[in-house]
Copies of this chain bind each other. A is one copy, B any other.
Amino acid sequence: MSEPTHETAQELAPPPERARTITDLARIAGVSPGTVSRALAGKSLVNAKTRERIEALAREHGFRLNQMASRLRRQKTGVIGVAIPLGHDRRQHISDAFFMTLLGYLADELTERGYDLMLRRVIPDRDGDWLDRFVGSGMVDGVIVIGQSDQFERIEAAAARFLPMVVWGNHQEGQRHCVVGTDNFAGGRLAAERLIAAGASTIGFLGSTDPIEFAARYAGAKSVADDKGVPIRALPTHLSPEHAADEIAAHLASDMAGIDGIFAASDMLAIACMTELQKRGIDVPGGMKLVGFDDLPIASQTRPALTTIRQDIAAGAARLADLLLRRMGGENTASVVLPPELVGRQTA
């Protein structure tokens, strides 16, 4: 802006030549590029004094190692790919609360372990090849897939050829890919048991049953309901927050015949449902019992506080990171199924 450059110019040290490549720096230091590389990598082969001198010069000349070149040469990237397939509901936004929470914890875990995280949102039916493209791109050392969506078969196929991949989702007997996830069937059972214990005589399952996680939740709830002779019915609803409210309103207005207990496939759906119920003056839990799924931070903050099935997201993220790193080390890890936990609050 207004620095008096002309007055002091002759006094200033010349701005240090910027060393862009390791070769620039080697020339400045009067050594070979190889030595610079070893010095900056902290290898023991270089003389301690040389190393210090080179490190000082690197700082002074603002040198940054070109990661692209380094990674090409070393054939590893230090990057973990995170893919979020949006197959079952194209309108489901990547900013889905559950995925975002899981992603946040994952970022913490992986950053802590020195990895960067490359995020990719994929719309499978637009790009049938997405998983192979991602794992084969050479840009990532391993891949975490958040949510199987409706891509189970494709993931199985990729797992056969590609070791370092771990998936968040549902576990099925005999599947090949390594998965971390909550026992959704057991979670569904817990939800139904709670609703019935709270006095529900007919249950509605709010959500989609296309993604296998949700299908398992419904199946779990149904197994309990069938045992106890309680009717249960699916109330199909999309998952994107924008559309859910209207669809819930439509359900509430039409086909609720006898339903006095709702098991929502996710907390966000449960909260949207609660709002719609309250709009209609239906008391929760007086007129309608309600159980959610996930136990997002927000679940404890609603009024009445939401009874829900807790997925331990932080633990899940830690397991995902742990298993992936072990697979990257060549180990062939087994899947992990986390136990769900009923968090009894006020809505059922």
What separation, in Å, do the CA atoms of A66 and B68 have in the docked complex? Answer: 12
What separation, in Å, do the CA atoms of A72 and B303 have in the docked complex? Answer: 54
Contact with A138, one of B66, B105, B108 (Cβ below 8 angstroms):
B66
What separation, in Å, do the CA atoms of A111 and B278 have in the docked complex? Answer: 38
Query: Number of A residues whose C-beta is below 8 Å from B?
Result: 49
Least CB separation from A108: chain B residue: B94
Segment among A6-14, A201-209, A293-301 that sits at the interface with chain B: A293-301
Least CB separation from A314: chain B residue: B95
| Chain multiplicity (copies) | 2
- B69 near A138: Cβ-Cβ < 8 Å: yes
Contact with A107, one of B65, B94, B108, B116 (Cβ below 8 angstroms):
B94
Is A230 located at the chain interface by the 8 A CB criterion? Answer: no
- B133 near A107: Cβ-Cβ < 8 Å: no
- What's the minimum C-beta distance from A168 to chain B, rounded to whole angstroms? 15
Given contacts A111-B121, A120-B116, contact A62 B132 (CB under 8 A): yes
Is A125 located at the chain interface by the 8 A CB criterion? Answer: no
Contact with A104, one of B95, B107, B136 (Cβ below 8 angstroms):
B95
B residues less than 8 Å from A120 (CB atoms): 111, 116-117
Report A's interface with B, CB cutoff 8 A: 62, 64-69, 71-72, 77, 79, 93-97, 100-101, 103-105, 107-108, 111, 116-121, 132-133, 136-139, 241, 268, 271-272, 274-275, 278, 297-298, 300-303
